[in-house]
Structures are given as structure tokens and as C-alpha cells.
Structure 1
Amino acid sequence: MAIELTDGRPWVLLSGTLCTDAVFDGLLDALGVPSASCRPVALRRPAVEDYLPELRAACLPGAVVCGFSLGALVAAHLADRLLASQFILFGLNPHADDPAKREGRLRLARDVAVTGGAAALAQRLAPLCGPDPKAARRQILAMADETADAIPAQTELALSRPGALESLAQARAPVSLFTGTRDAAAPFWMAQDAANVARHGRAIPLAGLGHYALVEDPAACAEAVNHHVMQGPDLI
């Protein structure tokens, strides 16, 4: 049976590091999700458990939880305690943070404090894919400037986050994981790890796209979601 995700049910949005919920705009527009249905949850607290009360309140019956990168990790870690009908996660690394990344994360936070989000991220941003990489880069850097003040909490969240495989294994709702085939930050095998433990998990590659697939080619992301989630079998 096809799943209708544009019927007014809540869409709970968790964006990533130095991102606003605008990272989902192209996807949601292409899917026809009304803005009134969207409930963004900003990453401005330093621990995964800090988000549970807000997410529980936002996850009304039939809710779809959509996360990107660090936001996807928060959603995945709490998936067994949220009454969602679907989890749609982009660029997820379901494992605890690699200690080798610690100094780089702290250096980014220091640079953001000194130079601003866009300037700090610009020198670290990998080459982008999709039909208009320049436009994608402008959007990503604009979001970084808007969320620069959240980087201390986001850095602590990234460094201290637990792995999400155990919670994904207990999730009752279907978990769909979308990852660009050129995503170096969260390679496709990580999505497969998550899908393999979830009761109703599936990992879907986004051909030719990178970590910021949602911004690089939102139409392709929407097509994948439409095919695999909205028109796919209801796994509940």
C-alpha cells in the first residue's frame, strides 16, 4: 500500500551542523509538504537526551521525522522512544564519533567564533555536486552564518554523541536512509549499517551526490523519497 506523506501530518525536521531547516526546503517543496505541517527542531543543546521532550511533543500521531547529518543522528538515537510513522534520514553516521575528529571539530568551533560560520566553513567545504554547485555553496554558507552561535552546543553534541544502532534496532517505525554515493563525511556503508539493524530499515544511494545532497539536488532527493517511501510498501 502506498504511503501518503503530504496529507497534513507533522514533519519534524532536524538539520545538521551549521544548518537551518532551510536545508529541507527544496525536498519538501518538491514533495508538496505544506509549510504549516513542518516543525523544525534546532540543534542548540549539547546532548542527545536534551532533545527528547521537544521531539516527543512534536511527534503527534502519524508524524514523519526527517533528519540530516547531526540531526539525523539525534533522530536515530531517539528512534525507539518516538511515536513517529516514518524516519527519513539523510547523511547519517550511526556510530559514535571518531576520536580522531575531535581536534578538527574543536578547531572549527574556534574558527567560527572568530571569523563567522560562512568564513570558517568555506575553507573546509568539499566540492559540491548536483546541477548548480555554486548555488548550493551559497545556500550552505548562508546557513552557516545564521547558525554560527549554535556551534558550541553542536560541537559538544557531535563529540559526545553515542552510537545509534541499538536504538535503531528497537525502532517500531520504518527507517529510510538516503546517502549520496560521493558522501565522504558519512559514506553509504554507514547507512547500510543502520539499515541492517533496523527492523524495517532500507538504505538508498543518491547517485552522484555528496553529503549535502539535499541542497545539491533536492529534486533527486524528492524523487528517491517518493519512490522508496511514498510509493513503496508500508512496512508498519
Structure 2
Amino acid sequence: MNRIDLEGRRAVITGGARGIGLATAARMIDSGARVILWDVDGAAIDAAVASLGDPASGTVVDLTDEIAVEAAATAALADGAVDILVNNAGITGGNGKTWELDPAIWRRTLAVNLVGPYLTARALVPAMIAAGYGRIVNVASIAGKEGNPNASHYSASKAGLIGLTKSLGKELAGAGVLVNCVTPAAARTAIFDQMSQEHIDYMLSKIPMNRFVEPAEIAALIVWLSSQDCSFSTGAVFDISGARAVY
């Protein structure tokens, strides 16, 4: 495994207690960073921090709660600069035809997957601007490019996250703060528990490499985008879909 240099950096990773977030935390620690996991599940945070060791800490945060996010950001910044923000937390909201989905589920999916990253950026970007350095990586999805059937709420939220990435990247282009997103194909994580088997089979059928992406593979891309080696890409969308996407 190649070592990407994040020596001395501090990162906030949302949804960091499991799946892609936990894999990213482990890779960042291997790269020399300290990580702060923001997650709504306190027990999962405790388990993740115990497995990662001293370079990791965690905070229970409801990412849809503006006051909670601001408090978590204030606490993180009190201990030093936050150089990296990875907006990884997300839910699928289950599956169903657009006209059959409960409006409350639609709103909740957008709140977690799109409003949450806006709130975290709002809370942490000013300090990055003041420091003249920062890296933000948003974990979107191939669904945000293509629009998966029976997942309009999830697809719309991830398309919105791609748009947020582009807007924020352009706003910060001269500030030393780079903002990019990744658009993975599905990874077999606990989020599959929120999907029907029919939908899982549909997603796999669309991937020419005929397998799901591994969380560690996504983590490797996220960590590079979080490093100084990524120096001239911002507002960009990085595909990691096993050739599913053709643009």
C-alpha cells in the first residue's frame, strides 16, 4: 500500500464509525493524520475509536442539527486546526417508486445526504479560509450522475451534493481550500441493509467489472484528494465505479 503524506493533519470524517468512513479513517491514520469521527451512533463511535487507537477520537453528532454541528466544530477547532473534512455520512432511505415514497423519507434523505454536508462546510470552512489551507471531499454516488430507478430521493440528494461540490469549489478556488467529490458505485457496507435485494442486484448488473467497490479502494482516492498532492483539482467529480459511468 502506497503511503500518502498527511503527516500532522487533522481530519473530520462524518459517518466515520463504519463502512467507507471507517476505512478512510484507517487509511488517514496510516498516512500520519489524526481523525475525528462524527457519527450519530455513539456505540459505533466507541468501537471504531477503540479499533483505530490513539490518533482517533469521536463525537456524537446529528448532522441535520445546525446547533449540534456548530458545537462539534467549535470543540474540534478548540484542539487545533481542522485541515480536512470528509462528508461521508449518508442514508439510502430505502427503495420505492417516486410516487410511492413517503414525503418524510424523501425529506430525511435529503437532510442527511445534502443539508448535512452544507452544515459541516458552513461550520468548518471559515477556519480553513483563515488558515489558507483545507481539503474537503464529499462522498456522492454514481446514482447522483445517472439517477437510479426506485431511489429518486437518494439519487437527487447525491446529485445535489455534486452541485454543492462544484459551487463550493469555485467559491474557495483562490483560498487554498480545495473541494472535490467522489462518485462510487455501490460498496457492500451496512447501507445495503437499507436496500431491497432487487435493487442490490440491479446495481451490480450495471457494473462492467462485475463486482462492488471495496471501501478501502474508495478510501485510497479520498485520502489522495485530502492531501497536498492534490493541488490543482477543485470542484471536480472523481469516478470510482468500475466503468459504470462513461462521463
Band of TM-score, shorter chain: 0.3 to 0.5
Question: TM-score, normalising length from structure 1?
Answer: 0.46
TM-score where L is the length of structure 2: 0.44
Q: Which has the higher contact order (CA 8 A, sep 6+)?
A: 1
